[in-house]
Amino acid sequence: MKLLNVLIGLIGFFFLVFSGIVYAETMYVTDVLRLTLRTGQSTDYKIIAVIESGQEVEVLQPGEEWSSVRLSNGKEGWVLTRYLTPNETNNIKLERLEQKHKNLMAQAAVLLEENTKLKNESQKLGQALAENEKTLNKTQSDFESLKTDSAEFINLRKKYEKTSKQLAEKSLRLAELEDQISKLTLYHIMKWFLLGAGVMLVGFIAGFGAKRQRRRPSLL
């Protein structure tokens, strides 16, 4: 008999322990303004706390009319079961949505500011690109002009070198001709000088011979 009582006591103990573990779940106070936490399962019991709508509580022992709960500050008591719900209340959802909306608005403001900065940078880059294209076009034009001028300069240089070479050849030829003319002139001078000297010598000899012939008869 005592053993049976001990077994019943153990079973009851384990039932209470495991029932507390099994039923210890998170619940929320429904969309009412305030819910009283009492020391017992009746409105006649003392109020030990007032729970706001949407406040989270831990259900220790659920019941059809009253449930035992524990608050986040450790207080335990009884509340009306019909005001508990396993789902988040509308005000919690609303607060979450409002916070989410606030975060999204903050992100949108940041994105808008970044978008404005990007637009300004894009505009500056567009202006810089236009200036670079203008500079590039001018550089290409100058390059083409330089190529044309360089080609003309190369042609002129080739003509100058060719003309200089021809002038040098002609100058050398002219010097050779002048040397030949000088030699020919000297030759003709010597020739006429010798010819004149020969004529004078012949005339002198002839005159001398004729003079002797005229003198000889005067001696007879």
Q: What is the tens place of the pLDDT at every residue in 92-121?
A: 666 777 788 888 888 888 888 888 888 888
Q: What is the pLDDT of residues 44-58, one digit of tens each?
A: 999 999 998 888 899
pLDDT of residue 98: 79
Q: Which residue has the tokens 């500050």?
A: 73
- Hey, which residues does 133 pair with through a beta bridge? none
- Run of H or E including 56: strand 56-61
Q: Which SS3 state, helix, strand or coil, does residue 71 take?
A: coil
Q: Inform me whether the pLDDT recorded for 206 exceeds 80.
A: no
The pLDDT of residue 14 is 47
Instruction: Go through the domains of the chain in sequence order and give each one's CATH number.
Output: 2-88 (2.30.30.40)
Q: How many CA atoms lie within 13 A of 183 on its CB side?
A: 6
* Strand ranges (E), 142-219: none
Pairing of strands 47-52, 34-38: antiparallel
Query: What separation in angstroms does the CA of 90 have from each of 27, 28, 96, 126?
Result: 14, 11, 10, 51
| Residue 220: pLDDT over 60 | no
**What is the rounded average pLDDT of the residues 202-216?**
68
Burial of 91 (0-12, 13-18, 19+ CB in 10 A): middle
Enter the pTM of the model. Answer: 0.36
Q: Are 59 and 25 in contact (CB under 8 A)?
A: yes
Distance from C-alpha of 60 to C-alpha of 102, rounded to nearest angstrom: 36
